[in-house]
């Protein structure tokens, strides 16, 4: 089949969840199909990124979004009912170019990642279209609004309201729909939300493999894009609320916050046994250099890829039910689940003080993600439920 794939960012490097999902789906789809990748970009595109993607498909088109137009569109968005992020990514001039490109291409299927790209293709009724909601973005914004600073809360609440309405509205423009987890599917407010296919992320178990070290530099590690608000919130909670409780039992406990683009709020956390690494060329070094992985997520949506990676690296993990649920983890044998700062800290202390328990949980966690999260299997679901149905 000829598939046109439209994404809101160039999917390399893999420092964001949407990039990681798009990259691995492209990687597996291109083995059996002719995939044409159309990328929007709101920043500078590294030539190395294009070279990396060209190893998967030679058909790549990147449309650069104008900075001043993006600002203007956000201002104009206050006079509209569509989500701010939809306005941010939609450019009318680029939209015409996308339409011409698709009409020349004549794809068998269009695959659109995230609702922020949907405006580019929603009126192309001559093609079979699939929308990957990926996450229930409205739910993530509602959660974020509860803890947002007073000066941001009205904006976040308004975006949450708009997203809820738009997720419902855009559903009917697409023949097929996918989402990352059953938990997120239930949060899309549409009477036919059960039609949305759950297509989870996967994990490269050969790549994310533990490198046993005789000693560890850090007791705790937390990874992720450190400018993403839920991760910033998690990092602050970890340093200000959970780590002090851990240190009541283990006074010298050290913490590594690893990931791209640390915000000023995250950089300010460094010191007193807390290290902020910034971007790492190989994130596995962060996992290999720590004893316990902690993801104290209170907001956000979708699947926590960092949790998949840590479990695959045989790190014992401590997290909240919000992060564990999309992975289907409900038992303490795969990872420890807590809600309060005290519960999370107690789990960390228990694992640090009991190496045998930590090792058993790490081994169980790896077996679990290997069994349940495979990119080939996930992409096969996408193919059979969304693309091949055109010919059925």
For 187-208, write each residue's pLDDT tens digit. 999 999 999 999 999 999 999 9
Whether 359 shows a pLDDT value over 60: the answer reads yes
Domain shared by 336 and 380, yes or no = no
Domain shared by 20 and 109, yes or no = yes
Give the predicted TM-score (pTM) of the model: 0.91
Domain shared by 82 and 186, yes or no = yes
Domain shared by 185 and 325, yes or no = no
The partner residues of 220 in beta bridges, in order of sequence, read: 255, 292
Mean pLDDT of all residues in 75-82? 96
pLDDT at position 392 is 40
Q: What are the helix (H) ranges across the chain?
A: 17-29, 47-54, 67-77, 84-89, 92-105, 137-147, 153-171, 182-185, 229-237, 243-247, 264-267, 284-288, 305-312, 321-324, 341-353, 355-372, 375-382
> What average pLDDT does the chain have?
95
Whether 212 shows a pLDDT value over 90: the answer reads no
- Look at residue 210 and tell me if it is in a domain: no
CATH number of the domain that residue 30 is part of? 3.40.50.2000
- Look at residue 342 and tell me if it is in a domain: yes
Between the two ends of the chain, the Cα-to-Cα distance in Å is 13
- Look at residue 208 and tell me if it is in a domain: no
Is the link from the previous residue into 57 a cis peptide, with omega within 30 of 0? no
Per-residue pLDDT tens over the stretch 282-322: 999 999 999 999 999 998 888 899 999 999 999 999 999 99
**In terms of residue numbers, what domain contains 296?**
218-372
Domain shared by 22 and 159, yes or no = yes
Domain shared by 132 and 233, yes or no = no
Domain shared by 331 and 236, yes or no = yes
pLDDT at position 389 is 53
Of the candidates 211, 204, 268, 261, the residue with the CA atom closest to the CA atom of residue 236: 268
Q: Looking up tokens 């079979």, which residue turns up?
A: 128
Per-residue pLDDT tens over the stretch 337-351: 999 999 999 999 999
- Report the number of distinct structural domains present in the chain: 2
């Amino acid at each position: 089949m000829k598939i046109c794939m439209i994404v809101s960012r160039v999917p390399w490097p893999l420092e964001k969840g949407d990039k990681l999902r798009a990259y691995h789906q492209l990687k597996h789809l291109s083995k059996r199909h002719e995939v044409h990748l159309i990328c929007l970009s709101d920043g500078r595109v590294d030539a190395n990124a294009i070279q990396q993607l060209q190893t998967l498909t030679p058909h790549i088109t990147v449309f650069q979004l104008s900075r001043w137009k993006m600002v203007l569109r956000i201002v104009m968005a206050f006079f509209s009912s569509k989500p701010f992020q939809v306005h941010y990514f939609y450019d009318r001039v680029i939209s015409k170019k996308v339409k011409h490109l698709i009409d020349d291409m004549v794809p068998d299927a269009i695959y659109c990642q995230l609702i922020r790209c949907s405006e580019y293709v929603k009126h192309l009724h001559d093609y079979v279209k699939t929308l990957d909601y990926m996450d229930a973005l409205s739910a993530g914004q509602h959660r974020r609004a509860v803890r947002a600073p007073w000066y941001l809360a009205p904006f976040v609440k308004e975006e949450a309201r708009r997203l809820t309405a738009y997720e419902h509205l855009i559903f009917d423009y697409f023949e097929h729909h996918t989402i990352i987890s059953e938990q997120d599917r239930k949060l899309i407010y549409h009477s036919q939300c059960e039609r949305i296919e759950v297509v989870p992320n996967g994990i490269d178990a050969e790549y994310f493999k533990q490198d046993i070290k005789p000693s560890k530099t850090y007791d705790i590690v937390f990874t992720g894009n450190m400018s993403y608000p839920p991760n910033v919130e998690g990092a602050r909670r970890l340093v200000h609320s959970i780590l002090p409780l851990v240190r009541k039992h283990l006074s010298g406990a050290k913490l590594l916050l690893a990931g791209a683009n640390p915000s000023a709020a995250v950089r300010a956390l460094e010191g007193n046994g807390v290290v902020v690494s910034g971007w790492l060329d190989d994130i596995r070094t962060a996992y290999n250099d720590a004893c316990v992985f902690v993801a104290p997520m209170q907001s956000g949506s979708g699947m926590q890829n960092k949790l998949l990676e840590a479990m695959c690296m045989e790190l014992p993990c401590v997290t909240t039910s919000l992060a564990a649920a999309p992975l289907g983890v409900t038992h303490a044998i795969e990872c420890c689940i807590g809600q309060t700062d005290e519960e999370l800290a107690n789990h960390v202390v228990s694992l640090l003080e009991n190496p045998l328990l930590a090792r058993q949980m790490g081994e169980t966690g790896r077996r679990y993600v290997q069994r349940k999260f495979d990119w080939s299997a996930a992409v096969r679901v996408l193919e059979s439920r969304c693309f091949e149905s055109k010919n059925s």
